[in-house]
Amino acid sequence: MQLAGVGDNVVDRYRDLALMFPGGQALNVAVHARRVGVESAYVGVVGDDRAGRHVLASMHEEGVDTSHVRVMHGPNAFADVGLSNGNREFLGGDPGVSVFEPSEADLRFLQSASVIHSSESSYLEGQLERLAAVAPLSFDFSVRRDEAYLEPILPFVTIAEFSLADMDDDEALAWIEWIHRAGPRLVLATRGSSQALLSDGQDIWRQPANPTHVIDTLGAGDAFIAHVLVGFIRSEPFEVSLARAAKAAATTCSSYGAFGHGIEDVQTEPGSTEERPAGSPARSQAR
């Protein structure tokens, strides 16, 4: 097993379409890596409701190793999604049963990974030291930039990813330099339609976005990250993996959902017997 996504999975529920799609940063990266021939696994928790069953079935269809997926009684995590000119907006959600701690058996399994990928949406900050002890850790910070959050985490991260779409070049490069000083070996900044930046602390690689007809931007960043990680696993030149990453992100923008597998979302229909779970809101996921 070469790549393991550990942490968040959701169903992304598109209110305007009455459809739901499997997603979540950790799961999306595992799926996109598997699609280009990398052996991948997902470690996390799904619910035993219709949404959770669909997420698990989608993993099986994609060939992702599910041997360390736990099925728990209760609602699967979800995020409600709206679209404005193709740009996704997260409108709320709930983590459901997804919050967990990796077991000792999970950690033994993860020792075979070339890289572990997790995210700020996974609620695993307190477990990152354990994960980093068994394999190189990739972590998607998304739009999180508060130093109080970052400083305890960065020393355990080998590859750090950020969404810096609101920064110009000078701001983004200064941010990347600060992140390197805190520990990560590689820093990736995705920036929407602007050039993505990848740094190894010495050199900077720039990757323009590929033109595409944008239907839905959800999951584009995860597709980009997945292909950069595939390049890391295969020891490819960064310019090769970045070009492939840009192509994959553009392809993801051309259809709904992070990696397809949409089904009818009965929970948004009038008269549905399945009630939306209540609880603390899911973290915003800039995927």
The predicted pLDDT at position 271 comes to: 34
Round to whole Å and give the CA distance between 205 and 189. 10
What's the confidence (pLDDT) of residue 282? 46
Quote the pLDDT of residue 20.
97
What's the pLDDT at 287? 43
Predicted pLDDT of residue 143:
95
- Residues in the chain predicted with pLDDT less than 50, given as ranges, are 268-287
d(C-alpha 198, C-alpha 91), whole Å: 30
- Residue 93: strand pairing partners: 79
Question: Hey, what are 150's tokens?
Answer: 């970052």
Nearest-CA neighbor of 32 among 196, 248, 255, 253?
A: 248
pTM equals 0.91
* CATH T-level fold of 3-268: UDP-N-acetylmuramoyl-L-alanine:D-glutamate ligase (3.40.1190)
Q: Which residues contact 72 (CB under 8 A, 6 or more apart)?
A: 45, 46, 47, 48, 97
> Strand ranges (DSSP E) for 15-126?
19-23, 40-47, 69-72, 78-84, 87-94, 115-119
Quote the CA–CA distance of 223 and 267 in Å, as a whole number: 28
